[in-house]
Amino acid sequence: MPLNILVTGANGQMGNELRSVLASKTAQIGPVPTDYHDARVTFAGAQELNIADAQAVERFVGNGGFDLIFNCAAYTDVDGCETNQERAYAVNAEGPRNLARAAQRTKAALVHLSTDYVFAGDNPMPRIESDPCEPQSIYGKSKLLGEQAVAQECERHFIVRSAWLYGSAGKNFVKTIMERARSTGEIKVVNDQHGNPTTANDLSYTLLKLALCSEYGIYHCTNNGVCTWFDFASAIVDGANIPCTKLPCSTDEFPRPAKRPAYSMLDNARLRATIGDEMRPWQDALTDYLAHLKGAFV
């Protein structure tokens, strides 16, 4: 029987990337497993399925007969979550709970995306899956509650924490930095927050592989290697050959409503121990991304 799959939040960055990887049957780091080649995939954007609406989720999933659900839906505006807390908890905590309950009832597996922001970010060592969580922002707190709900409600769950994501569709840090460097000839970027830039393409590949195994639980999945936002921005303008002045600055110079972690590096320990960690160094992934961007848009 061909796999029957639901992708929620289908019009966001990850939803779009999964769509294109599934359609082309290949990602930049490898082919999509053959199990997906004849899969029936329902891509539901927020208009088609509001995951915060428990009854709508019950109906949609109940009628769908899905084997596998990828939850790419989330309220990802980190500063917006501070001012719109009700929405943050509805979408990032109750939404995953609704999906997890429906998945459990219909015997589907659930792949749920989460974030490095569930950690306090005050420890310069990369975090593994079992490290204690202590989110510092409403976004992080709401995402952690979502993780806990998924783990409680659905036996066949994969909670995949990623970080600093950039994909082909929509706006992201890479495109913003390129635009700013081209239009102003200068970039000023924080140099005291550390993390793992990750392409949505590599993450999609790993999600698809992971979902076929039965080692349920929490996974970290980022491109390998650590840098600051300033390092990342410098690599972007250098890789894209955009001459500009690069100015490092501190977080204090850029006050934001939500506290950002100083260290939010993730260690893909559980991937290494299970299906293998095929995520590339972030520099290689960025080079590939910029080459594709040039071909597609520039």
- Nearer of residues 81 and 244 to ligand NAP, judged by Cβ: 81
- Closest chain position to ligand NAP (CB): 12
> Site for ligand NAP (CB under 6 A): which residue of 98, 104, 137, 162?
162
> Site for ligand NAP (CB under 6 A): which residue of 6, 93, 99, 115?
115
177: enclosing H helix or E strand: helix 173-184
The least CB distance from residue 29 to ligand NAP, in Å, is: 18
> Site for ligand NAP (CB under 6 A): which residue of 27, 68, 74, 236?
74
- Nearer of residues 21 and 244 to ligand NAP, judged by Cβ: 21
The least CB distance from residue 96 to ligand NAP, in Å, is: 9
Task: Note the helical H segments in 185-279.
Answer: 200-210, 229-239, 269-273
d(CA 277, CA 241): 31
> Site for ligand NAP (CB under 6 A): which residue of 21, 52, 93, 154?
52
> Site for ligand NAP (CB under 6 A): which residue of 46, 54, 133, 293?
46
By CB under 6 A, residue 227 contacts ligand NAP? no
Stretch near ligand NAP under the rule CB under 6 A, chosen from 49-57, 61-69, 150-158, 271-279: 49-57
CA 237 to chain centre: 23
Burial call 187-211: b when 16+ CB within 10 Å, e when fewer: bbbbbbbbbbbbbbbbbbbbbbbbb
Torsion of CA 130, 134, 139, 141, to 10 degrees: 90
d(CA 114, CA 92): 9
> Site for ligand NAP (CB under 6 A): which residue of 5, 6, 7, 12?
12
The least CB distance from residue 261 to ligand NAP, in Å, is: 12
Residues in the chain: 298
- Give the Cβ contact number of residue 220 at 10 Å: 27
**Residue 139: active-site member:** yes
- Determine which one of 36, 75, 139, 263 is catalytic: 139
Q: Is 97 exposed, middle or buried (0-12, 13-18, 19+ CB in 10 A)?
A: buried
Task: Write out the catalytic residue numbers.
Answer: 139
